[in-house]
Copies of this chain bind each other. A is one copy, B any other.
């Protein structure tokens, strides 16, 4: 594949990446917090290294495999922001031997079952659920939280890293105001939690909250991930502007269907992922980039290799078979995950974990 490939290609603008990192880093510093960015979006050692220039030392990842991938690139302080898997104690032991490893925990049971299998010190964040409903102890259940703290204190090989909270329900917002409301409510409840447990540090940070809020309230550590690239879903949420999106898919136009004014591109679920976002007009799998971005121009449907673009008559007529279109992905984390690599604007190839290492 070259950067003039006739096949779907994922481009990353490293200047935008640098600017996104810089802005978020500044905001974290203004909040006197520690920046522990999530690397699950880019999954790239080369992009990961860009954070070092901003003084970042602690990072966040979503799996043991990813922790291993970045530990091999010299990162020494890694949080796996996923609840501990008691079947994987051997993997925690190996990795905790070479870096300061932390992961999440929700129940006393897992603390004790994990502790019994550990040979090396493992940091445990207690995962707090701010009414998102995916995972964690409900933020208001101080009693359960206290008993997990005690279980960690009783353990031999675990230490308490803090509270970890992902307010993923901000993804349901469709305006800055809605993000502020959801994030504000979550941070309010976390502030109450911190009053009860003032010594315990709090790691917080979904991309919508961290992008929209200026004040991170009770949070001591900030760990957003998606902001490094952003994507069209974040525009819909109100978390970024289109100019802040660092990744674009370039896809060839294969055919045009005059009767329905739709364009067939090579670019399907194996390139974009099958994720979508809904706004009040439609469900979209990506946003067509045109001089004036429009609700009318979007990726309407995806099958394995096919993408169908819905567009305005003017946009339809401006393209011909053999041209390429540029598209903002709906969800850059998953698009990068299936594309497994990037081109920088000046044609360099950047790594992605999925192409670089074997799964274990």
Bound Cα distance A6, B82 (Å): 14
Question: Known: A275-B269, A305-B62. Is A85-B254 also a contact (CB below 8 A)?
Answer: yes
Q: Is A333 an interface residue (CB 8 A)?
A: yes
The reply to whether B359 and A134 contact each other, CB–CB distance below 8 Å, is no
Question: Known: A1-B359, A88-B6, A269-B273. Is A304-B333 also a contact (CB below 8 A)?
Answer: yes
The reply to whether B269 and A334 contact each other, CB–CB distance below 8 Å, is yes
Determine which of B83, B106, B264, B337 lies in contact with A338 in the assembled complex, contact meaning CB atoms within 8 Å.
Answer: B337
Question: Known: A7-B360, A270-B334, A341-B359. Is A86-B322 also a contact (CB below 8 A)?
Answer: yes
Give chain B residues whose Cβ lies under 8 Å from the Cβ of A270.
334, 337
| Residue positions of A touching B, CB distance < 8 A | 1, 5-7, 40, 62-65, 82-88, 91, 106-107, 109-110, 113, 133-135, 138, 168, 252, 254-255, 257, 259-260, 264, 266, 269-270, 273-275, 301, 303-306, 308, 321-322, 324, 331, 333-334, 337-338, 340-341, 354, 358-360
Question: Known: A1-B359, A255-B107, A305-B63. Is A7-B274 also a contact (CB below 8 A)?
Answer: no
The reply to whether B1 and A306 contact each other, CB–CB distance below 8 Å, is no
The reply to whether A306 and B273 contact each other, CB–CB distance below 8 Å, is no
Given A6-B85, A84-B254, A340-B359; 10 other pairs, CB 8 A cutoff: A1-B359, A7-B85, A7-B88, A7-B359, A62-B305, A83-B264, A107-B321, A110-B321, A134-B308, A338-B338
Shortest CB–CB separation between residue A184 and chain B, in angstroms?
23
Shortest CB–CB separation between residue A11 and chain B, in angstroms?
14
Give chain B residues whose Cβ lies under 8 Å from the Cβ of A134.
264, 301, 303, 306, 308
11 CB-based A-B contacts, threshold 8 Å: A6-B87, A7-B64, A7-B85, A40-B305, A85-B252, A88-B252, A134-B306, A135-B264, A269-B334, A273-B274, A338-B338
